[in-house]
Structure 1
Amino acid sequence: MISIRRHEEGASAGRTVRFEGRDYGSQVSLFVVDADPGRGPALHVHPYAETWIVRRGDAEFTVGEEKTRGSAGDILVAPANIPHRFENVGPDRLEVICVHPSETFQQIFV
């Protein structure tokens, strides 16, 4: 068994933790996002579907031409090869788990 403690895993300046499964014998990679209001990733694509689990806060998700809001407890899925992003649109921090069904991140910013 491999156990990774949040304080041991390197978080970026934006408090986002990056877990790339290949490094731990897993076929899943993920980001644990902790973003301030107005923050979120730039528009990007993957060759696989990405699943978002909103843990706290409010976000606007853009998938292709469609926009929708998500809040704590919501699960959203962006299909493969469709440009997508999200942004914290609430007044408080946003916590989202971004699940990538791949042992490595395959992400292209557009």
Structure 2
Amino acid sequence: MQVFRLDDLDAERAANEGAYLRFLNERSMSVGLYALNQGDQDPQQPHRQDEVYLVVSGRASITVGQDTTTVGRGSVVFVPANTPHRFHHISEDLRVLVVFSPPEA
């Protein structure tokens, strides 16, 4: 069994001075913590994997393909592989669990 604490993951991510920390990489999926602060720009490009986002804190808008919605704590968003997407109008520091399937390279 592997158990992770979000506070510890966020501290490790910040110590590495990056917006993303992959903390689990298995045969069928990988999982990471993505952080964008209020006012940040999201530089993401489409990924080759399907993704699921679970917003654990913060507030922002997300555009996936042509659709835009507001997300906050508890929001779950599915992004199909190769689909343009990005967070924007980040009004509260955003922390998001990201699940890739298959795992990111």
Show the counterpart of 2:99.
Answer: 99
The residue correspondences of 1:39-50 to structure 2 (distance < 5 A) are: 39-50=40-51
Q: In the aligned structure 2, how far is the partner of 1:87 from the partner of 1:20?
A: 26
Aligned-residue Cα RMSD (Å) equals 2.6
TM-score (norm 2): 0.74
Residues 15, 63 of structure 1: alpha-carbon distance in 2 compared, 3 angstrom cutoff = closer
Q: In the aligned structure 2, how far is the partner of 1:48 from the partner of 1:56?
A: 24
Deviation at 1:52, TM superposition (A): 0.6
Residues 40, 19 of structure 1: alpha-carbon distance in 2 compared, 3 angstrom cutoff = farther
Deviation at 1:4, TM superposition (A): 5.8
Would you say how many aligned residue pairs link Structure 1 and Structure 2?
A: 100
- Indicate the percent of aligned positions where both proteins have the same amino acid: 27
The residue correspondences of 1:1-110 to structure 2 (distance < 5 A) are: 1-2=1-2, 6=8, 10-11=12-13, 12-14=16-18, 16-19=20-23, 21=25, 25-87=26-88, 89-90=90-91, 92-103=92-103, 105-106=104-105
Residues 77, 40 of structure 1: alpha-carbon distance in 2 compared, 3 angstrom cutoff = farther
TM-score (norm 1): 0.71
Deviation at 1:35, TM superposition (A): 2.2
Q: Contact conserved, 1:34 with 1:94, CA < 8 A, in 2?
A: yes
The structure carrying a bigger strand percent of its residues is 2
Q: Contact conserved, 1:27 with 1:102, CA < 8 A, in 2?
A: yes
Q: In the aligned structure 1, how far is the partner of 2:27 from the partner of 2:89?
A: 29
